[in-house]
Amino acid sequence: MSTRTRRHFAIFTTASLPWMTGTAINPLFRAAYLAKDGDKDVTLVIPWLCLRDQELVYPNKIVFDSTLEHESYVRHWIEERIDFKPSFSIKFYPGKFSTEMRSILPVGDITDCIPDEVADIAVLEEPEHLNWYHHGRRWKNKFRRVIGIVHTNYLAYVRREKNGQVIACFLKYANTWVTRIYCHKIIRLSGATQDLPRSIICNVHGVNPKFLEVGKLKLRQLQSGEKAFTKGAYYIGKMVWSKGYRELLDLLSKYQSKLAGLEVDLYGSGEDSDAVCESAKRLSLVVNVHPGRDHADPLFHEYKVFINPSTTDVVCTTTAEALAMGKIVICANHPSNEFFKQFPNCRIYNNEEEFVQLTLNALSEQPAPLTDMQRYELSWEAATERFIEAADINPHAPESRTHQTSTRASLPAFMRTRRLKQNLEDASVYLHQALSGLEVTRRAFGAVPKTLQPDEQLCKDLGLAPPAKRRKLKFKLTT
C-alpha cells in the first residue's frame, strides 16, 4: 500500500502496564492487532508517572527509571501473548495519579505527543476521562477523525459514594459535554454505559489468544474422553465490593441450604480484601479467598464454572476469557452481558432462584464445545474488524479536518443549520477551555493540583522543555 493512503492511528489511553486494568491491556492489544497487517501506522500513547506515583500504582514494587525501560516492559508483555511481532510505536504523555479517583489523569496538552504532520485518527480510550480537564489543542482540529471508546460505567461507581446521586447527575452532564465537543464518534462497549451523543453500542474488545488456546486444549480433552475439568466454581476480579463480591456472597448466604456441597474459590486483591475474607468465613459453605493472580495462570484451567454476578462492568474481560477457555459462565441478565448471550456456555439468570438452579446445573453438566465462529467472535481479529466498522473509518481516504463553514447569508438552510451547530460547539469548546485553564476551577472539580502543565520532574523524565520555557513558548504561540 502506498504511503499516501496509509492511515495513522494514535491510541490514547488512561493507564499502562504493569497496572493490570482494562484500559492498560485492551488498548495495547488494539494497537498490536491494528498494526498486524502492516497497512496502517499505529502509535500507542500511554501515561508516564513519576517514581512516587509509580510506587502507588504499579503492583509488586515494579518501577521504571526511564521511558525506554517502561516501553521494553510493555513490549515484552504483549509479545509473550501474541504469535506475531507487533509493529506499533509507543509514546508517553505526562500523567499524575489521583488518590481520590484511583485514576491516572493527563497533565498538560497530551495532543502534543503526535506531530501535526501525522495527526490523522485519534482513538481516545475513555474519552470522558481524558477530557474532563483537557486544556490544549482541540482534538477535532488536530485530527481528521476522533473516536472515543467508553470503557467504564462511571455513573454506577459514583452513585455508591456519599451524595452519589448528585455527583452522578453532574458527571453525566460533564461526560456528555466533553465527548460531544471533542469526538466525532463514540463507541460504547455495551448498553451498561451512559448514552452519549453520536454513539453506537459495539463490543470492540477481544481476548488474549492464550485463552483461546486453552479452550482448544479442553475441547480435545473432552473429545478424547479425558476429564477436562477437575475443579468446580470460581470468580476472579479486583477485590472491591462493587465488582460483584457483595452480590455473590449475599446469594451464597441466602441459599446455603440449596447450594449445600458447593465450594467456591475467590481470587482478587483490592481495598476490600479483608472485609471479603471476613464475610466468607461467616458462611457454612466452603468459600476460599485467595490473592489475585493472572487469569491465564494454569491454576484456572481446571475450573469448570465461572460465576460473575457483577453489574458494574461494561463488558467483563474475565467473563470473555472464561468463555474462551471453554468454561460455563453464570452471570446476570444485564446490558453488560448482552454480547455473551450468543454463546451457549453463557447461562443468564433473571432472579435469585434462577441463579441457584443454573449453578447446580452447571456443576453437573459438561460445557458445550465452542464452534470456530464462536471462537473467532471472541478473538482480537474479530474485535478489530468490529472497531473499524463501528468507527466508520475509510481505510484509504483520509477525511478533511474540522473547519469553519462559510458565513454567507446565501447558504442553503441545511448549511446554515450546520454552521449554527458548529458555532454553538465552538462556543462550548471555548467555555470548557476557559474553565479547564483556571487552577481554582480545576481544583473545584477534582483535578490533581498544578496539572495544567507538567512539573519539572515530568519534564525531565520525558525530555520536555522546563516548565518556565514551556509557558513562554505557549504564550508566544497564542499571542
Q: What is the mean pLDDT of residues 389-416?
A: 67
Percent of the chain with pLDDT over 90: 74
DSSP letter string, 236-302 = ES-SSGGGTHHHHHHHHHHTTTTTTT-EEEEE--STTHHHHHHHHHT-SSEEEEE----TTSGGGTT
**Rounded Cα distance, 442 and 434, in Å:** 10
Count of CA atoms in the C-beta half-sphere (13 A) of 106: 27
pLDDT of residue 423: 82
Element holding 45 (H helix, E strand): strand 40-48
pLDDT of residue 410: 54
**Rounded Cα distance, 459 and 38, in Å:** 33
DSSP 378: T
pLDDT of residue 204: 97
**Rounded Cα distance, 417 and 245, in Å:** 50
pLDDT of residue 157: 82
Is the Cβ–Cβ distance between 183 and 137 less than 8 Å? no
pLDDT of residue 21: 87
For 126-173, what is each residue's pLDDT tens digit?
Answer: 999 999 999 999 999 999 999 999 999 888 888 878 888 999 999 999
SS (H, E, C) 291-338: CCCCCCCHHHCCEEEEEECCCCCCCCHHHHHHHHCCCEEEEECCHHHH
Q: Mean of the per-residue pLDDT values for the chain? A: 90
DSSP 464: P
- Cis peptide bond upstream of 298, omega within 30: no
Task: Flag whether pLDDT at 218 surpasses 90.
Answer: yes
Task: Flag whether pLDDT at 478 surpasses 70.
Answer: no
Q: What is the mean pLDDT of residues 312-321?
A: 91
DSSP 86: -
Q: Taking the CB of residue 445, how many other CB atoms lie within 10 A of it?
A: 12
Per-residue pLDDT band for 276 (boundaries 50, 70, 90) equals very high
Enter the C-alpha cell of residue 400.
Answer: 478533511
Percent of the chain with pLDDT over 70: 92
Task: Flag whether pLDDT at 330 surpasses 70.
Answer: yes
Q: What is the mean pLDDT of residues 388-415?
A: 68
Enter the C-alpha cell of residue 300.
Answer: 484456572
Instruction: State phi, psi for 184 to the nearest 5 degrees.
Output: -80, -35
**Rounded Cα distance, 308 and 321, in Å:** 12
Per-residue pLDDT band for 406 (boundaries 50, 70, 90) equals very low
DSSP 3-state of 345: coil
Q: What is the mean pLDDT of residues 280-292?
A: 90
pTM score of the predicted model: 0.90
pLDDT of residue 402: 59
**Rounded Cα distance, 114 and 63, in Å:** 25
pLDDT of residue 471: 52
pLDDT of residue 200: 97
Per-residue pLDDT band for 458 (boundaries 50, 70, 90) equals very high
Evaluated on CA atoms 217, 218, 222, 223, the torsion sign reads: negative
DSSP 3-state of 138: coil
Instruction: Kindly tell me the burial class for residue 253, based on how many C-beta atoms sit within 10 Å of its own C-beta (0-12, 13-18, 19 or more).
Output: middle
Instruction: Kindly tell me the burial class for residue 77, based on how many C-beta atoms sit within 10 Å of its own C-beta (0-12, 13-18, 19 or more).
Output: middle
Q: What is the mean pLDDT of residues 332-349?
A: 96
pLDDT of residue 341: 96
DSSP 198: T
Enter the C-alpha cell of residue 86.
Answer: 507487533
Point out the least confidently predicted range of 93-107, 248-262, 294-308, 459-473. 459-473
Task: Flag whether pLDDT at 473 surpasses 80.
Answer: no
pLDDT of residue 411: 60
For 31-73, what is each residue's pLDDT tens digit?
Answer: 999 999 999 999 999 999 999 999 999 988 999 999 999 999 9
DSSP 3-state of 463: coil
